[in-house]
Amino acid sequence: MYAPASPFSRPIPSAGSRSLSGVYRQVGVETSVSGATPHELVKLLLNGYFDALAEAKGALAAGSIEIKGRALSRAIRIVEEGLKCSLDTTMGGEVAQNLNMLYGYISLRLTHANLKNDVAAIDECVQLMTPIREAWQGIASQANTAQIHKEVVA
């Protein structure tokens, strides 16, 4: 019911209970990450974030509090350990500082959503990150051109 659309959407089961699909998913994650440019890595993180929120909303609707908790925890980890930690507030200036504050706020709202089963808070977090995702998708061609130029020069 909560089919993943990105390699970061669900944790991989432990080796002892790993299904064949879990093994393929792990290979997909490793392949996606190992060959990805920095731009693609952020794209993967954003996809994982939105997948986790969709899963959390579906779990809430189905009454599965455990799945909701895991999905929201995953979204928070993506924001805190992936997106927020990758910011360079020195080089990124005001934009990076604003993103840092936004990510902090989103983490607080997702924690609230988890504690209170608040779908409106999840929806708010989706709305807050949608322009970031759209902007990131919009600069994809520029990032690819810069990466190709970097590889040619090197």
| DSSP type of residue 16 | G
Cα separation, 39 vs 137, whole angstroms = 9
Cα separation, 88 vs 92, whole angstroms = 5
- pTM score, whole prediction: 0.74
Q: Name the CATH code of domain 38-153 (choices 1.10.1670.40, 1.10.10.10, 1.20.120.340, 2.30.110.10).
A: 1.20.120.340
* Helix, strand, coil content of the chain in percent (nearest 5): 80, 0, 20
pLDDT digits 0-9 by tens, 10-59: 544 444 444 554 444 444 445 456 667 888 899 999 999 999 999 999 99
Burial 20-49 (b: 16+ CB within 10 A, else e): eebeebeeebeebeeeeeebbebbbbbbbb
Whole-number pLDDT of residue 33: 62
Cα separation, 154 vs 152, whole angstroms = 6
Whole-number pLDDT of residue 24: 42
